[in-house]
Structure 1
Amino acid sequence: MPVRPWSPEDLGRPTDGSWADVAFGLGEIYECEGDLGQAADWYRRAAESGHDAAALRLGAVLGRMADDGADGSAEDLLAEATRWLSGAQDIATPGAIELITDMLNRHQRQAARRGLEPAGQQC
C-alpha cells in the first residue's frame, strides 16, 4: 500500500508543524477509548506527515487490529504494521524493539493458523 502524504493543507488549514502532533493526540484519544480503527486513521495521518512516534503507535494498533480480526484481512494489517514499524526512526529504542518483537510473534501466529487450515479437497 503506497504512502500518501497528508498535510493540514488537505483540510484547508495552514501548516505550522503542529498538525501532526494534533493528529497523533487524536490517535491517542481514540486508542484509549478502544476505537482502534479511528486511532489507526489518525496515527496514519500523523505518521505520513513524519511524526515518528505515530508510526510506532500505528504499527502497534494495526497489529492489535489483526489480532482482533478487525476490518481488513489480518495479513494486510500485519503487512502495513510491519512497514510502519520498520520505517520508524526510533527503531533502536526499547519500546520499538518490543513492538517489533510483538509483530514477529503475530506473524508466527498467523503462519501457524494458515498451517492449521484444512487443505482443499483432493480428487
Structure 2
Amino acid sequence: MSVRPWTPEDLGRPTDGTWADVAFGLGEMYEREGDLRQAAGWYRRAAESGRADAALRLGAVLGRMADAGPAGESAEDLLAEATRWLSGAHDATTPDAIELITDMLNRQLRQAARRGLEPAAAG
C-alpha cells in the first residue's frame, strides 16, 4: 500500500514543494485562521529561505499585530521589523508592495502621534 506524501499543493497553492513553499503555505493557513503570531513565524522562515513574497506577507502580518495592541512585543518593535522586511523585499516595487509600505508608514505615523499624546513622566 503506497502512502501519498503531503505536499504544499494540499493547501491549494501549486508549488515545487520546497521548504520555503511549505513554510509559506503554513503561514497562509495560520493567517486565515487568525493566528498572526504563528503566521509571522512561518512567513519569517519562508522569507529567510528566499521566498520573495513571504517578506511582503510577513511585513503585512507584523503591521496587523502592531495594530492589535500588546501581545508580548511592543508595537514599535513589530513595526521596525515589518519595515525591515518590506524594504528588503525583492519585489518592493510592485503595486501591492508599495501599498504595504504605504500602510506601514501610516502605522508608524499613528504610533508617533500616540507617543506624542502620552503624558510626560514627572521627573
TM category (shorter chain) comes to 0.7 to 0.9
- The offset of 1:110, in angstroms, is 0.2
Q: Which runs of 5+ in 1 are unaligned?
A: 1-15
Moved over 2 A (4+): none
Q: 2:47 is matched with which residue? A: 47
Q: 2:26 is matched with which residue? A: 26
- The offset of 1:71, in angstroms, is 2.8
Cα RMSD for the two superposed structures: 1.2
* 1-structure distance, mates of 2:62, 2:81: 7
- The offset of 1:55, in angstroms, is 0.3
Q: Which runs of 5+ in 2 are unaligned?
A: 1-15
- The offset of 1:17, in angstroms, is 6.9
Q: 1:73 is matched with which residue? A: 74
* 2-structure distance, mates of 1:113, 1:51: 34
Larger Rg: 2
* 2-structure distance, mates of 1:75, 1:118: 18
**TM-score normalised over the length of structure 1:** 0.84
* 2-structure distance, mates of 1:120, 1:42: 39
* 2-structure distance, mates of 1:57, 1:108: 21
Q: 1:113 is matched with which residue? A: 114
| Number of equivalences | 107
Cα deviation 1:12-68 (Å, max 9, x = unaligned): xxxx97010000000000000000000000000000011110000000000000000
**TM-score normalised over the length of structure 2:** 0.84
